[in-house]
Amino acid sequence: MRGVDAVFHVGPAFVRDEAQLGLNVVAAAQRNGVSKVVFSGVAHPSDQLANHVSKRPVEDALFRSGLEFVVLQPVTLFQNIGAPWPGVLGHGVFAEPFAASSRIARVDYRDVAEAAAIALTEDRLTYGTFELCSGEMPDRHEVAAMMTEVLGVRCAPPR
């Protein structure tokens, strides 16, 4: 990181030592004179979900680091639909690992990237923590209906 002004860190989800990797990024930034760290964490980092709780120590380290920082906390990514996408195309089934009636806020990672670019190149977000989400919270039935409309093929949650 020597000679770098700002760092954007996205921790690799579900890696056993994700928290330590993030702590190492903060420490390396401090040692090498980095001015600002932008961290893409997750909404609700205090949840007991493995991919959420590992973000909290990194946020805490940033808050205590003396570095300028911005913490981005995106909700579920629209891009996560990629995992069930083969079932949508092959069988018209949109399956996710939670109740079909659950209303889920989502965000497009391109919007997260835009927020990160602003955070890295401007000062207006410095020392802020921002939960990033869309303005809607459709349940899986509603998302499946949108898929049906766009694809022209019936799509539904599994029964």
- For every residue of 25-52, DSSP letters joined together read HHHHHHHTT--EEEEE--S-TTSSSHHH
Same domain, residue pair 127 and 159: no
- On whether both 56 and 3 belong to a single domain, the answer is yes
User: Does one domain contain both 158 and 123?
Assistant: no
The pLDDT of residue 14: 82
- Predicted confidence at residue 146, as pLDDT, reads 93
Q: Record the tokens describing residue 149, joined without a space.
A: 């409309």
Domain of 29, in residue numbers: 1-74+107-133
Residue 85 shares a structural domain with residue 25: no
Q: Check residue 51 and give its pLDDT.
A: 74
Considering the domain architecture, whether residues 94 and 114 belong to the same structural domain is answered as no
Residue numbers in the chain where pLDDT is lower than 50: none
Burial class (CB in 10 A: 0-12, 13-18, 19+), 61: buried
Q: Are 44 and 10 contained in the same domain?
A: yes
Q: Are 23 and 57 in contact (CB under 8 A)?
A: yes
Task: Give yes or no: residues 121 and 143 share one domain.
Answer: no
The count of domains in the chain is 2
My answer on whether 44 and 88 are in the same domain is no
Tokens 């949650």 sit at which residue?
Answer: 157
pTM of the prediction?
0.88
Same domain, 28 and 100: no
